Amino acid sequence: MQRKVNLLLLMLGLLGAGIGFVLGELLLGVYGDSMPRAVLIGLYFGVVALSIGICTMIAELMQPILSGSSWRARYTDLSWKLLVPATLVLMFLGGSLFQLLYGLHLGGERQVRDYVLVIDNSGSMLQTDPNNDRFTSARELVDRMRDDSRVAVVVFTDQAEVVQPFTRMDRQIEKDEVYAAIDSLQTVDGGTDFAAALDQTLQLIENRSNPDRGVMAILLSDGQSDADIQSQLDRFVEQEIVLHTIGLALDDASGVAALESISSVTGGSYHDVREADELSLIYQTLYDESVEDRTLVTERDGPSADSTFYQWFRILAIVALGGLMGIGMGLFFDNRYLARSFGIGGAVGGLIGGWLLDNSLSGAGFTDGLTRLATLLIIAFFICLFPLLVPVRENNRGQTTGTGKTRRAVRTGRPTDDEDRPVRDRRHRGF
């Protein structure tokens, strides 16, 4: 057993990580919105592993320092046959599995799939939203919703009314039904009563089918309500219903304070909008933030953004994938000693790279790409370097001696290196 390093393999391994990164980023860019996440991330890691594998194979063919000249002379055909199964296929399966688990809601929180649009329809909206942009924005939001979402619409003045109960967005006919309900709305006279709006929203949520689905409400108003809403807010908190608020052209400080208080108490956010044509962007932003589409290589947002559970899950998943990548490289070299050394190195690199990935991803395309590149380079570096720390030996199965006879090791109590096994000394020496 020897500690050694192939510098050419190290350099080409880093090159392979860079090539794999480019191919993986192309996959994310082209298929990021259409391909199932488990398949996409499996392919991402599979392509990276294949690129590193090809480059390290070339390095060992040029300088067989780790696997030995006997490997180059006798086993390269087998290694080429094992290359794709031990890299692309193995890492595809591993990456898909960990991504599938990472996408599940295992941390205790409920995924938001039900949405209630609570829209102020009082007479003051004739001045603040004369073109009914609030209804247009609601319609655009419905159009963008995913198939597994459900939406309901409540309008209120000094009274509240459900104009559309929860409707699933998986068929166009259901969407058309919601569109028709929104298009039929007209601004009416009346005041602003937050208590009535919240009461009606709570009743709607409490009476819905599938109550285990996570739910979020968005309340839009341009006025102030003097109604006591503490009891309603307590029910929102008790049922873990997030309520976001939007103030439209609000100049009254008390109105702003009321909406800020509502969102703060329920775990939501307040948004101040000066012009009604800005509402569409706010609606879309709130919806996008609620839709959790976690992947192992992109920013984690939504309710699980600060989850310690998912933080450690991602780090440990990258550790496991780094180790699996290293083991796969040892497999196509057909050398269990290299598999052990590469596997340990990949796990160490995965620990560092996983921590970097989880703490540096921010949603910015360019910097997130650099973070992923750094993670892959770290994993490749530790895989290729670790034979210098964890000793390896050549795989000399069936190696011939100078006389042309095949040299085979005699099985004894403990394995030796490349020379013949010595005859066991059976003399008793005590302890």
Residue pair 232/248 in contact (Cβ under 8 Å)? The answer is no
Q: Is 66 helix (H, G, I), strand (E, B) or coil?
A: coil
Distance CA 323, CA 310 (A): 20
Q: What is the pLDDT of residues 372-419, one digit of tens each?
A: 999 999 999 999 999 999 998 876 554 444 444 544 444 444 554 444
Q: Determine if the pTM surpasses 0.75.
A: no
Where in the sequence of the chain do the CATH 3.40.50.410 domains occur?
112-290
215-118-140 Cα angle (round to 5): 85
Does position 430 have pLDDT exceeding 80, yes or no?
Answer: no
Percent of the chain with pLDDT over 90: 65
State the average pLDDT over residues 283-311. 84
Q: DSSP character for 290? A: H
Q: Percentages helix, strand, coil for the chain, rounded to the nearest 5? A: 55, 10, 35
- In this prediction, residue 226 has a pLDDT band, given cuts at 50, 70 and 90, of confident
Pick left, alpha or beta for residue 243 (phi over 0 → left; psi -120 to 50 → alpha; otherwise beta). beta
Is the domain spanning 112-290 CATH 3.40.50.410? The answer is: yes
Q: Is the CB of residue 164 less than 8 Å from the CB of residue 155?
A: no
* Range ranked top by mean pLDDT from 98-107, 184-193, 219-228, 230-239: 230-239
Q: What percentage of residues in the chain have a pLDDT greater than 70? A: 90
Phi, psi of 269, deg, nearest 5: -135, 150
Give yes or no for a contact between 20 and 51, defined as CB atoms under 8 angstroms apart. yes
Amino acid at 192: T
Q: Is the pLDDT of residue 320 over 80?
A: yes
Instruction: Flag whether pLDDT at 358 surpasses 90.
Output: yes
pLDDT at 338: 94
pLDDT tens sequence across 11-44: 999 999 999 999 999 999 999 878 889 999 999 9
- Which residues are CB-contacts of 277 (< 8 A; sequence separation ≥ 6)? 131, 133
Q: Which residue has the tokens 């042309």?
A: 404
Torsional sign, CA 374, 377, 381, 383:
positive
